[in-house]
A and B are shown apart, each in its own frame.
Chain A
Amino acid sequence: MHIAVLVKTVPDSEARMEISDGGRGLRVEEKWELNYFDAIAVEKAVKIKEAFPQVKVTAIAYGPRYVLEGLRKAVAMGADEAVHVEGKEGSWLYPLRAARVLSQALRDVGFHLILCGRKATDDDSGQVGPMVAEFLGIPHVSWASSLEWDGGDSLVAVRDLGDHKEKVRFSLPALVTAHKGLAEPRVPTIQGTMRGMRVQPRKLQAAEEPGTENWKLVRFAEPPRRPQVRIIEGDDPRAKARELLRILREEMSLL
């Protein structure tokens, strides 16, 4: 059994970012992390491998040099191999392009099960998983908060869809997108981290055609700023509660 995990490297939440090139770009401080949901996917793959030693786990990333960070982390957590599909700066914002390139790489690398995140925290698109499945002509299960494999032909997953849950059964090959609950990402051991540092990812050329997109980026903008907070004063909690409700009702017509 070969599990391929798609890992995206995204700016750390604390990384400084600013709009550049007169709105056409984002300048990001060089502080990267493995996308949270992808870390969950890696953890799940490694857990399966620990239960069934014949399982092989390959981490695949598409993008410029900085994606090595995510690949290193995946290997540090226990992935066997890393594949780097070299791409251009700015490709983080184009899910269809990423999905096309990744599915091509997946054909080269081979897989039985593909795990990825349910969304990336940079473009927040939540599209690449189902798109890759469609390119490869395989079924997918999105928002998996649990996944069980007993070594047999089929797997059982639970999808946590917010307003309800769904238990599904499916056979391989298939793609699963990881949601919270699927696994809790481990902190790599020192040996793991060393392995990650030393890993020489296999390089693949991306068959990308930038510029063919049917949506063009116009600009990045700052979201509207919230005014300074208005602190509600009062002699006791009851007075404050009453005043809050008055504002929400009378001034803001929210209640």
Chain B
Amino acid sequence: MEKGSIWVWVEKADGKVKQTSQEVLSQGRSMADELGGSLLAIMAGPVSEVNLEDLCGLPDQVIALEGDGEGGPSLIVETLEELIRKDPPWALLAPGTPSTMDWMPRLSVRLGVEMVSDVVGMELLEGGRLRVKRPVHGGRFLVEMESQEGGPRLLALRPRAFARKTGSRSPRVECFPMKARGPTEVQVLEKAQREKGFVDLSEARIVVSGGRGMGGPEAFFLLEELAAILGGAVGASRSVVDSGWRPASEQVGKSGRSVSPDLYMAFGISGAIHHIMGMDSSKVVVAVNKDPNALIFQHADLGIVDDVNHVLPALIEELKRRS
């Protein structure tokens, strides 16, 4: 492939290209256009499962990695290393999900180049230098880094940090074998099926979170209902998780997940720094708390000072009436 080509790693869920991968494809398209290169989408699975519509007309070419299931980290690393060594791209971009963060660091070691994770902004400068921005210290600061000569540049993009665009290309699709060379070292015994339509916390457009102020686990049925109406995901504070009201996978914060949805709604959450560290990069924050001095209001755009047990049912009812 010619100089300046951009590769994007694409992930699927429920047989569809994930929204976060479409965001990365959009960013990859802009970079490829600026560099005068082409955009290649790489995904695991057989050619027959590639749904071109899902790729939003963005890539020029698609490579389907056919072979042993979805492939563990070493299998993906070996396959990508082979592809990259044959024809190094200018950059390889991927959505920053737990699954890419499982193999990309290993690929970085193989290629002897650093990767940058959790990228929230990028800009191509004169002379083909790339400047990227990422949060550090739980979002208290941003750090800007600039790529030096030599590639490929390996980047994992923070979900929901980049806009989704569409194009009008019809890519050619090829397949490439993904074959294990040795025995699988980590054997998957059981994979809990994800529920259909499940929205992962860090990929959700809207997150509705509850804290201890919800009063108890029963009250979270209301949050689930609100999330379902809004097409969002439910989050929780650590106190709630530690009390066993909600599963650990829903915890937002320093010791949980980091989220940057378009809309984050905090119900009965005090706004401790450890919680803020996981959600401060959300675009719009709404806080509902009965204490007007709650810290959360210092990190919110819109606030309601009232009892969540009255506000939540009212919100749900109003939303239902409108639809």
Contact = CB atoms under 8 A, between A and B. Distances in A.
B150 interface: yes
B168 interface: no
Interface in A180-216: 180-181, 213-216
Contacts of B287: 229
Interface string A105-128: 000000000000000011111111
A121 B147 CA distance: 24
Interface in A130-170: 130-131, 133-135, 139-143, 145, 156, 160-170
B319 A160 contact: no
A62 interface: no
Interface stretch (A41-49, A72-80, A243-251): A243-251
A169 to B, nearest CB: 5
B186 A170 contact: yes
Contacts of B274: 13
Interface residues of A, number: 79
A51 interface: no
The 4 lowest CB-CB distance pairs between A and B, nearest first, are A139-B185, A237-B310, A241-B314, A134-B109
B131 interface: yes
Interface stretch (A53-61, A63-71, A81-89, A90-98): A90-98
A127 to B, nearest CB: 4
B21 interface: no
A1 interface: no
Interface of B: 13, 73-74, 77, 98-99, 101-106, 108-110, 113-118, 131-150, 185-194, 198, 200-202, 206, 230, 241, 248-249, 251, 254-258, 262-263, 273-274, 277, 280-281, 284-287, 292, 297-307, 310-311, 314-315, 317-319, 322
A220 B142 CA distance: 6
Q: Determine the main DSSP class of B at the interface with A.
A: mixed
B215 to A, nearest CB: 15
A217 B145 contact: yes
A237 B108 contact: no
B223 to A, nearest CB: 14
Given A121-B137, A221-B141, A229 B301 contact: yes
B106 A36 contact: no
25 contacts: A26-B137, A36-B255, A94-B114, A95-B114, A121-B138, A124-B137, A126-B117, A127-B115, A129-B105, A130-B103, A130-B105, A134-B106, A162-B202, A162-B257, A166-B188, A168-B186, A170-B186, A214-B113, A216-B146, A220-B144, A221-B142, A229-B303, A237-B307, A242-B318, A244-B315
B191 A170 contact: no
A227 interface: yes
Given A169-B189, A214-B113, A244-B304, A124 B318 contact: no
Contacts, number: 243
B105 A220 contact: no
Contact of A254 (B106, B136, B201, B263): B263
B141 A131 contact: no
A244 B310 CA distance: 14
B263 A166 contact: no
B135 to A, nearest CB: 7
Contacts of B322: 245
Interface in A219-249: 219-223, 226-227, 229-232, 236-238, 240-242, 244-245, 247-248
Given A223-B140, A230-B303, A160 B201 contact: no
A230 B318 CA distance: 21
A216 B145 contact: yes
Contacts of B147: 214-215
A238 to B, nearest CB: 4
Contacts of B262: 254
A165 B192 contact: yes
Nearest to B200: A163
